[in-house]
Amino acid sequence: MKTDRKDTLVLVTGGTGFIAQYCMLALLNDGYRVRTTIRSPGREDEVRAHLKVGGVDAGDRLSFAIADLDHDTGWAEAAAGCTYVMHGASPTPSGDQTREEDWIEPAVNGNLRVLRAARDAGVRRVVLTSAFGAIGVGHGPDHRRPFDETDWSNLEGNVAPYQKSKTLSERAAWDFIAREGGGMELSAVNPVAVYGPVLGADYSHSIRLIANMMKGQPGCVNVNSCCVDVRDVADLHLRCMTDPAASGERFLATVGDSLWMVEVAELLRQRLGAAAAKVSTDVWPDEQVRIAGETNAQLKAVAPLLNYDMNATGKKAERLLGWAPRSREEAIVACAESLVRLGLV
């Protein structure tokens, strides 16, 4: 199998992303060649440096293509010669772009650009990095829990633009495969909050929650979430890429029950000792969060999630693909320890 893999090229989109870089690590460690997209050539050294922190000096087994989800240019060249695609790139509007269209249209059109290029290049299967935001938001308290892969976020409910964009862009991907896929296969991975060891200072929103706690954020809001280690998210992508059972399926990447933010804070204090001395276990009253949200965009986005049950199950991936993720505690502690080790908190 290894002799085949060294001749197999996999495209990973969005090469500066946290999950994308761990997907590259998993692929390179498994013997594949990798091409990744970046929006400007100036980020190539950063990506290679992050992979070295993850234990891989990629050398000529890693190549780069310049492509932007907002434009057609470069995607045909990026997909050329690839057997598989892992598509995790997702546009993030700048701070002055607050309309839903600024989130939704680039996400939907970006997915379709990648899928068309992959189909035209003869790619066998695309693994789409979607999100829990496409599954478990906008539902009322009476909707059954835990969420699973049969659920879709209810866009008639209180859904943030980012979550709406992930829902509509994943639906667009499945519709494309059904109508225009030309036999190309699709699998989707829907991660919850992703933790695990960081590779550098450019990290995800979920990691920022831990970093803010470690830096002394004054208290926790009444929000809960499931979590997963980024190394296990990458492993699930790899299984979705090659396992026949994954074709045409979506998989929640999550382990264990959801944790309240104060439980995360308590875990950090228990496991990291003096390094977590600034972590607060105070809980902000809900009404205080709502009032603050009138002038604070971040808290405004949090308000609909107060006391919202976001419990989800990853049993489908365990059952169908043999996925065996680390514990949620290991994912959180590994994340915090890496932030300390790299001097980021």
Q: What is the spatial distance between Cα 255 and Cα 226, in angstroms, rounded to a whole number?
A: 7
Q: What is the spatial distance between Cα 115 and Cα 104, in angstroms, rounded to a whole number?
A: 17
- At 121, list the tokens: 């290049």
Cβ(27)–Cβ(231) under 8 Å? no
Q: Are strands 185-191 and 62-66 parallel, antiparallel or unpaired?
A: unpaired
Other C-beta atoms lying within 10 Å of the C-beta of residue 300:
15
Q: What is the spatial distance between Cα 115 and Cα 183, in angstroms, rounded to a whole number?
A: 12
Q: What is the spatial distance between Cα 337 and Cα 259, in angstroms, rounded to a whole number?
A: 19
Q: What is the largest CA-CA distance in the chain?
A: 60
CA angle 310, 313, 316 (to 5 degrees): 150
How far is CA 66 from each of CA 14, 44, 60, 134, 224, rounded to the nearest angstrom?
10, 10, 17, 28, 38
- At 278, list the tokens: 């600034």
Cβ(124)–Cβ(181) under 8 Å? no
In this structure, what are the phi and psi dihedrals at residue 187, rounded to the nearest 5 degrees? Answer: -130, 155
Cβ(76)–Cβ(120) under 8 Å? yes
Closest C-alpha among 280, 275, 237 to residue 27: 237
> Active-site positions?
166
Strands (DSSP E) along 245-319, which ranges?
250-253, 255-260
Closest C-alpha among 150, 159, 151, 232 to residue 191: 232
